[in-house]
Amino acid sequence: MFLSFIFELYSSGKNDLFNEYYPYKYEDQATYLAETDSVKENRVAYLWPTSGVFSAVNALFHTTGNEKYSCLLQKKILPGLDNYFDNTRTPVCYQSYISSEGHSDRFYDDNIWLAIDFCDLYRMTGNVAYLQSSEQLWDFVASGWDEQLGGGIYWCEQKKKSKNTCSNAPASVLALKLFEATKDSSYFNRGAEIYHWTKSNLQDTTDFLYFDNIGLNGKVDRRKYSYNSGQMLQASALLYRHTNDKKYLKEAQNIATSAIEYFTTDFTTKNGEIIRLFKNTGSWFNAVLFRGYIELYKLDQDPKFIQIFQQNMDHLWLAVKDKNGLFGKDWSGEKEDEYKWLLDQASLIEIWANLATLK
């Protein structure tokens, strides 16, 4: 199966850690950090792609209920993640690179993705330790909020220069999930507060989608990424579920319609089928976007958006695999990446697993 294949190709061979790319890129520099990558030797994957494997296995466990995935989480995934845990700074959380290499930047969004997975894992297993992990990470996430710009959570603890959709939209989702898990209304209130701050400060009112961030100088970075809108889509759907206020359902539906229009384009597959293909925005971004569509589908049972994801994934499997059976960033298959990113592989597993729950 594809997951086992990924473990085989990307394993670093030590401490349950992964390599970031296949083939291995010894001198590669990570470009998604707040500053220049400074790791010089014995490179392993950063926290972000490693967390994507957690999400993938979680999704498989949710879809199948097979205990082998629970065992994999306990024996491989979580021990591997422990390498990134930083208990020397408070609030405690996961840092961006392994702790044995010293302190590295701590990102609020990195920890939100993990906290969401821990919360989902608690809901699947009833194991209170997972809930405690999620709440512990929530404490770190909440510490990133201050009243500059009227609120909002920063992107990076060490580089407090901007408040990003990627650190606020999923924080709203996390808080609402913790409310579901604990029935503690304070989580609901914070989830709603973060949602409304993000909507007020970072939504493009012309198309309902979301800009990337706002700097402390008030300047908005108007780039749009699918996962940012996807998390506000999911938050809207969760708020509707808990309030029955139709404005949230309408907001979710508006984002859903606009995101397909913005992030996909007409494409003819090798089989001659015309589909709406996701542009080259990143597989993980689209996996997180899909979480929002799943939440909306639970409410309105309209399959049209789910079908678009299914068509994309069928096309990928049939036409875009490379000679090693791996996938690049370009879903059209027209551009070939020499090195395949761990996160791209893991996020596709998540999408396939989540699609299987909807059949």
Omega into 23 within 30° of 0, i.e. cis? yes
87 Cβ neighbours under 8 A, 6+ residues apart:
none
pLDDT band at 321 (very low <50, low <70, confident <90, very high): very high
Highest mean pLDDT of the ranges 35-39, 207-211, 319-323: 207-211
pLDDT above 90 (res 281): no
SS (H, E, C) the chain: CHHHHHHHHHECCCCCCECCEECCCCCCCCCCCCCCCCCCCCCCCCHHHHHHHHHHHHHHHHHHCCHHHHHHHHHHHHHHHHCCEECCCCCCEECCCCHHHCCCCCEHHHHHHHHHHHHHHHHHHCCHHHHHHHHHHHHHHHCCECCHHHCCEECECCCCCEEEHHHHHHHHHHHHHHHHHHCCHHHHHHHHHHHHHHHHHHECCCCCCECCEEECCCCEECCCCHHHHHHHHHHHHHHHHHHCCHHHHHHHHHHHHHHHHHHEEEEECCCCCEEEEECCCCHHHHHHHHHHHHHHHHHHCCCHHHHHHHHHHHHHHHHCCCCCCCCCCCCCCCCCCCCEEHHHHHHHHHHHHHHHCCC
The pLDDT value recorded for residue 336 is 85
| Across 16-30, 100-114, 238-252, least confident range | 16-30
| Averaged pLDDT for residues 46-67 | 98
93 DSSP β-pair partners: 86
**What is the overall mean pLDDT for the chain?**
96
CA 164 vs. chain centroid, Å, equals 14
Domains parsed from the chain with CATH numbers = 2-356 (1.50.10.20)
pLDDT digits (tens, 9 = 90+) for 115-155: 999 999 999 999 999 999 999 999 999 999 999 999 999 99
pLDDT band at 40 (very low <50, low <70, confident <90, very high): low
The pLDDT value recorded for residue 235 is 99
The pLDDT value recorded for residue 41 is 65
| Averaged pLDDT for residues 310-324 | 95
The pLDDT value recorded for residue 84 is 98
pLDDT above 70 (res 28): no
> Please, are residues 56 and 73 in contact by the beta-carbon 8 Å criterion?
no
| Helices 128-142, 165-182: inter-axial angle, 10-degree rounding | 140
The pLDDT value recorded for residue 359 is 76
pLDDT band at 27 (very low <50, low <70, confident <90, very high): low
The pLDDT value recorded for residue 37 is 77
